Amino acid sequence: MGRSSSGAGVPAYRRGMRDIPRSPTSPAFWRSPLRGARFTSVLGLVLLVGVTVLFVTGLLSYAAYNPGLSPVNDKTPDKGILGFYLFDWPTGPHCLYRLTQGVHVTLGVTLIPVLLAKLWSVVPKLFVLPPVRSVTHGLERLSLLLLVGGGLFEFVTGVLNVQLDYLFPGSFYPLHFYGAWVFFSAFVVHAVLKMPVALRNVRRMRAGEAGEEGPGTDELVAPEPDPPSVSRRGALWFVGGGSALLFGTTFGQSFDGPLRRTALLAPHGGADPGPGPNGFQINKTAALAGVDAAEASDEAWRLTVTGSTGTVRLDRAALERLPQHSAALPIACVEGWSTSDQHWRGVRLRDLAALVGDGDDPPQVFVESLQRHGAFRHAALSAAQVADPRALLALEVNGEILSPDHGHPARIIVPAAPGVLNTKWVARLTFGKV
Ligand SMILES: Nc1nc2c(c(=O)[nH]1)N[C@H]1C(S)=C(S)[C@@H](COP(=O)(O)O)O[C@H]1N2
Ligand SMILES: [Mo]
């Protein structure tokens, strides 16, 4: 091992007093005394738990979009057997999506330092020669390619989507969805192969055993390490500190008020919502969505409702004459941010279904906004969502008329659903369609 393995013809340069091979394919090129199976094992076990939670909450998020109501909500029509697990997203508990998606995004951000440290800890293996020693070795390396590539892809697309406000509105869902399956499949193979060793390493470490860690037994350990500037334990604390910092500047996005201001890394939406009853997070302002103020005025606006017995058109006064109901529900965005419960007031979706002959066993509904361009101006709600007594076409929030940015004259609000289904500036409801 060591210098001799740099091989003939590999140039060496001098750093301090020692010759260091210039080629990363030589084990002696890697000098950090931190690398070793134990360091890698601790990070690996953290990721085992964390990535599994990310995968499950991610699949849940996909189910929450009502992908069965294709093609309106489903952006992944070719999902095939990957959709085997899908189920009808429930309408309770009312903060369900706030919880699952808050965990998904905040945990994903928090795990970034762990992922990077884990990759750094095994990077010498990438350069091992010969690249393929046998068929099994080749297959193992191929699975690592999917693992590392898939993992980086999922983290990068996730962060871009959160930070850059739906960077790829149409294609993010299929990309992140298929990527998740590739990544997680490779992850399961890797975990099954490595978990016994990782657990043994961590147990030994906790028992304080010196063990026989060294160049001979542990291929991650540098054969000729530089003198340590920080202990392994110190390095793990450093990674944990990075995660704690990201967590501390992200989790506030799931709350209102002063806590939200601690969410320095969270996206802040299209506008400062300001104070007052309408003063909670805004995803896209009326101006950004290109909603015409004249069209959305109480005088001009009409709601068109279609169902089995035909179509009715209602103006605001007619809607206000229908029974008004209240529901305390949050907005919970796929980007991970959410609000606390807001007090919405308006007409029940099932009462609107009853106006057009669909009151007894309300079917799903296709919702269309005044908005003419851009994503999220349509949504499909399931029959269970229409039937829920808390599902409203809201006219007011927190005791005040909806502001233009929150969807005046009327918006959908549904318990436990992702924010993207809570269509603003609603113009048309078609029951039984989709
Ligand atoms: N017409 C329309 N409705 C919409 C959207 C939109 O872009 N256009 N964005 C949706 C998304 S992604 C979210 S998270 C919520 C946010 O609601 P808020 O801006 O009132 O907080 O509105 C939803 N309703
Ligand atoms: Mo959203």
User: Sorting pLDDT into bands at 50, 70 and 90, what band is 268?
Assistant: low
Residue 141 predicted with pLDDT over 60: yes
Q: What pLDDT is stored for residue 379 in this prediction?
A: 94
What percent of the chain clears pLDDT 90, i.e. is strictly above it?
A: 74
User: Sorting pLDDT into bands at 50, 70 and 90, what band is 309?
Assistant: very high
Residues 6+ apart with CB under 8 A from 200: none
Residue 166 predicted with pLDDT over 70: no
Q: What pLDDT is stored for residue 3 in this prediction?
A: 42
Average pLDDT over residues 57-64: 96
Residues whose Cβ atom is located within 5 A of ion ligand 2: 333, 419-420
CA of 184 to the centre of ligand 2 (A): 25
Q: Are strands 426-431 and 303-307 parallel, antiparallel or unpaired?
A: parallel
Q: What pLDDT is stored for residue 269 in this prediction?
A: 53
* Tokens describing residue 116: 């990077």
pLDDT tens-digit map of 221-257: 999 999 999 999 999 999 999 999 999 999 999 998 8
Higher pLDDT, 13 or 119: 119
pTM above 0.85, yes or no: yes
User: Sorting pLDDT into bands at 50, 70 and 90, what band is 313?
Assistant: very high
Higher pLDDT, 163 or 416: 416
Q: Is 422 in the pocket of ligand 1 (CB under 6 A)?
A: yes
**Atom number, ligand 1, closest to the C-alpha of residue 369:** 1
174, 76 contact by CB (below 8 A) = yes
CA of 411 to the centre of ligand 2 (A): 14
pLDDT tens-digit map of 85-133: 999 999 999 999 999 999 999 999 999 999 999 999 999 999 988 989 9
Q: Mapped to the 3 state alphabet, what secondary structure does the chain carry?
A: CHHHHHCCCCCEEEECCEEEECCCCCHHHCCCCCCCHHHHHHHHHHHHHHHHHHHHHHHHHHHCCCCCCCCCCCCCCCCHHHHCCCCCCCCCCCCHHHHHHHHHHHHHHHCHHHHHHHHHHHHHHHCCCCCCCCHHHHHHHHHHHHHHHHHHHHHHHHHHHHHCCCCCCCCHHHHHHHHHHHHHHHHHHHHHHHHHHHHHHHHHHHCCCCCCCCCCCCCCCCCCCCCCCCCHHHHHHHHHHHHHHHHHCCHHHHCCCHHHHCCCCCCCCCCCCCCCCCCCCCCCCHHHHCCCCCCCCCCCCCEEEEECCEEEEECHHHHHHCCCEEEEECCECCCCCECCCEEEEEEEHHHHHHHCCCCCCCCCEEEEECCCCCCCCEEEECHHHHHCCCCEEEEEECCEECCHHHCCCCEEECCCCCHHHCCCCEEEEEECCC
Nearest-CA residue for ligand 1 atom 5 is 376
Average pLDDT over residues 170-190: 91
CA of 337 to the centre of ligand 2 (A): 8
Nearest-CA residue for ligand 1 atom 20 is 406
Higher pLDDT, 58 or 140: 58
Average pLDDT over residues 128-157: 91
User: Sorting pLDDT into bands at 50, 70 and 90, what band is 51?
Assistant: very high
Q: For ligand 1, pick from 166, 283, 414 the residue to mutate: most ligand atoms within 8 Å of CB.
A: 283
Q: Is 161 in the pocket of ligand 1 (CB under 6 A)?
A: no
CA of 202 to the centre of ligand 2 (A): 40
Nearest-CA residue for ligand 1 atom 16 is 283
User: Sorting pLDDT into bands at 50, 70 and 90, what band is 84?
Assistant: very high
Nearest-CA residue for ligand 1 atom 7 is 376
Average pLDDT of the chain, as a whole number: 90
pLDDT tens-digit map of 333-377: 999 999 999 999 999 999 999 999 999 999 999 999 999 998 899
Residue 433 predicted with pLDDT over 90: no
Higher pLDDT, 2 or 303: 303
pLDDT tens-digit map of 386-415: 999 999 999 999 999 999 999 999 999 999
Distance, first Cα to last Cα, the chain: 66
Average pLDDT over residues 49-78: 87
User: Sorting pLDDT into bands at 50, 70 and 90, what band is 170?
Assistant: low
